[in-house]
Amino acid sequence: TPPDDITSLLGLNVGDGNTDMYIIGLQEVNSMINKRLKDALFTDQWSEVCMERLSPFGYVLVTSQRMQGVLLLVFAKYFHLPFLRGVQTETTRTGLGGYWGNKGGVSARMSVYGHTICFLNCHLPAHMENSDQRMEDFESILQQQQFEGQAATGVLDHDVVFWFGDLNFRIDDLEMQVVKSAIDNNKFSILWEKDQLNMAKDSETVLEGFQEGPLKFPPTYKFDVGTNTYDTSGKKRKPAWTDRILWRLRATAPAGAGKRGSISGLTSGAKVTQHNYRSHMEFTVSDHKPVSSIFTLQFPYKVDLPLVTIVVEDEWNSVADATVIFKLAPNYSRSSWDWIGLFKVGFKHYKDYVGYVWAKQEESDFLRQEQQVTFTEEELPKGSGDFILGYYSNNMSSIVGVTEPFQILLPTSGDDTSSSDSSDVTSEDDSTVVMKMRSRSPSPRKGKHRGHRSGSRSRSRSGSPHQAKMKEVDVTKAPPPSTTAETDCKSIRGPTEGSSSQLFARLCLQLTLKTCCVFKVMHPPHCKVSVEKIYSFRCHPFQE
């Protein structure tokens, strides 16, 4: 379970959010079957606490990957999002001969300003005698993790690799009292020489090029939970640096071996500087101590032209101001599922939008690089606040263009405010079913949930008349169901006369409350379920 406050662990009380990216690796996250089912339906506790703590400083969850108890989270400042491209994740199970995910590795790769980077979080086999097995599992993870459609296909093919986690390497050949005496007297160099990972660097080819800062902190394993006391149980595990952070630069090609300066594969001149490498003794929720490090990455060039440029006024004082112009780069491949989201400053991830419009493309505009869309009144928040716009690419599964923060200062009325507040129900039932699944972020300034806005959309998608956007119904105002959901679905088999969205709205109003909540969860753009598809299956609560 996460501790109550991870501020110092994240260094937010020192840097005040000046870091560009956070990469967080966890091992042995609670993965009991009941906990995994809950985490599959809702956001897991660790992801939620990290997002809640980092989003007020402008960090957005770029990607995450979980394999049972192994979790990897990648955060970045929102203005870096357009330059983090080609994001992919991989998992490799090595427990029980590759069938169980309690051990193994999860990774995330991406291009950062034109340079390929891979983050690999591992949990390797335990116990003193399994050093060779740890190396075999690491090699297996590297061999199995292959990324599709990228110039960098394997983990080690990236310009920079960060390898970290509970690597479980131990201290060989020294008795318990010798190890503890060295710790008590801060003579860590005695222990470095017998550290299994340090020794393996001299003999294991797969470790060639990996670097690690000096271990100037006490071994991080194994402690009595809730204390800073090394293991006093009957097993009396010998202290060890099981929790590590290493990095590797791809080998530079010899001078004159080929052209340098291409976007893919440039490593000449790349530099990684480690500023600190430490453990956090104050955290006692685990039998391990967490380890952190701060790095600066320097590259000889960077790709800093966004694929989509969004132009917006500094203030929206009326609905008429809510017009957005966006320009596409010549090399950008758009999709009919692209959309522009309106995000509150301090949003958590790309699904955490207040409203959105489809980045529609009329046939007459096919060759135009500059397009225009308008937010309707239903898509806009009531009242004032600071917002940004982000262009989401369906093909790239990421935000490829953002604006600077701007203000929305729309007039409010008593009725509107009341309606907005009533739909932002804070009870456990409603927030669990609707708010958690949508993961709406609170305002970082006021610490309260935003009014939950739902747009009334009756327009069909451009060029696809049968794929009408689903209408989102305010379940707090839905009348009691007059018939069962199953009967309604049997009686309505597809778009008939009139608007498909209106037809869906009438159907949804006759469903049970829980079913309406499910339809809200499946609401586009991040769930591509059309009304036509919904008609094709029976409507039971919580059936996807």
Q: 248-260, pLDDT tens digit by residue? A: 999 875 544 443 3
Q: What is the pLDDT of residue 89?
A: 96
| Count of Cβ atoms closer than 10 Å to residue 352 Cβ | 20
Across 294-333, b (16+ Cβ under 10 Å) vs e yields ebebebeeeeeebbbbbebeeebeebebbebebbbeeebe
- Per-residue confidence band for 270, with pLDDT thresholds at 50, 70 and 90: confident
Q: For strands 115-123 and 160-166, give the pairing.
A: parallel
- Across residues 344-350, what is the average pLDDT? 96
Return all residues near 407 (Cβ < 8 A) that are at least 6 apart.
314, 315, 316, 384, 385, 386, 387
Quick check: 388 pLDDT over 80?
A: yes
Q: Find the farthest-apart pair of alpha carbons in the chain and give their distance in angstroms, rounded.
A: 84
455-475 confidence digits (pLDDT tens): 333 333 333 222 333 333 333
- Distance, in Å, from the CA atom of 402 to the CA atom of 542, rounded to the nearest integer, reads 34
In the chain, residues under CATH classification 3.60.10.10 are 21-253+264-303+513-522
Quick check: 91 pLDDT over 80?
A: yes
Three-class DSSP category at 35: helix
CA nearest 381: which of 417, 414, 337, 328? 417
Q: Which helix (H) or strand (E) holds 102?
A: strand 100-112
CA nearest 251: which of 164, 159, 162? 159
> Is the domain covering 21-253+264-303+513-522 a CATH 3.40.50.300 domain?
no
- Per-residue confidence band for 172, with pLDDT thresholds at 50, 70 and 90: very high
Return all residues near 14 (Cβ < 8 A) that are at least 6 apart.
none
- Across residues 81-103, what is the average pLDDT? 89
The residue whose two tokens read 């260094």 is 11
Task: Tell which wins on pLDDT, 459 or 15.
Answer: 15
Q: What is the pLDDT of residue 517?
A: 40
Q: What is the pLDDT of residue 413?
A: 56
The residue whose two tokens read 């509150």 is 344
The residue whose two tokens read 């090595």 is 94
303, two tokens: 């790709």
Please, are residues 522 and 530 in contact by the beta-carbon 8 Å criterion?
no
CA dihedral 27, 33, 34, 37 (to 10 degrees): 80
- Distance, in Å, from the CA atom of 77 to the CA atom of 452, rounded to the nearest integer, reads 25
- Across residues 190-196, what is the average pLDDT? 96
Prior bond of 524 cis (ω within 30°)? no
Please, are residues 44 and 71 in contact by the beta-carbon 8 Å criterion?
yes
- Distance, in Å, from the CA atom of 251 to the CA atom of 124, rounded to the nearest integer, reads 26
- Distance, in Å, from the CA atom of 322 to the CA atom of 324, rounded to the nearest integer, reads 7
Q: What is the pLDDT of residue 96?
A: 80
- Across residues 413-421, what is the average pLDDT? 41
* Mean of pLDDT over the chain: 77
Q: What is the pLDDT of residue 130?
A: 95
Quick check: 83 pLDDT over 50?
A: yes
- Across residues 15-41, what is the average pLDDT? 78
Residue 524: C-alpha distances to residues 212, 461, 531 (Å): 44, 12, 11
Per-range mean pLDDT, top range of 10-24, 137-151, 351-365, 425-439: 137-151
Within 312-397, strands assigned E span: 315-316, 323-328, 339-344, 355-358, 370-374, 384-393
Residue 376: C-alpha distances to residues 324, 481, 519 (Å): 12, 30, 22
Three-class DSSP category at 177: helix
In the chain, residues under CATH classification 2.60.40.2840 are 308-408
Q: What is the pLDDT of residue 308?
A: 97
156 torsion bin: left (phi>0), alpha (psi -120 to 50), beta (else):
alpha
Q: Which helix (H) or strand (E) holds 309?
A: strand 308-311
- Per-residue confidence band for 441, with pLDDT thresholds at 50, 70 and 90: very low
Quick check: 356 pLDDT over 90?
A: yes
Does the CA dihedral 34-38-43-48 come out positive or negative? negative
Q: What is the pLDDT of residue 44?
A: 87
The secondary structure of 71-101 as a DSSP string is: EEEEEEEGGGGGGEEEEEEEEEEEEGGGTEE
- Distance, in Å, from the CA atom of 145 to the CA atom of 297, rounded to the nearest integer, reads 24
Domain 308-408 architecture? Sandwich (2.60)
| Count of Cβ atoms closer than 10 Å to residue 282 Cβ | 11
Please, are residues 257 and 164 in contact by the beta-carbon 8 Å criterion?
no
The residue whose two tokens read 């020489």 is 193
Task: Tell which wins on pLDDT, 340 or 370.
Answer: 340
Quick check: 292 pLDDT over 70?
A: yes
Quick check: 127 pLDDT over 90?
A: yes
CA 343, distance to chain mean position in Å, is 16
Whole-model pTM: value is 0.75
Q: What is the pLDDT of residue 526?
A: 54
Quick check: 32 pLDDT over 90?
A: no
Q: What is the pLDDT of residue 410?
A: 87
- 413: which strand partners? none
Please, are residues 267 and 251 in contact by the beta-carbon 8 Å criterion?
yes
Q: What is the pLDDT of residue 312?
A: 95
Least confident of 136-150, 297-311, 391-405, 501-515: 501-515
Task: Tell which wins on pLDDT, 101 or 195.
Answer: 195
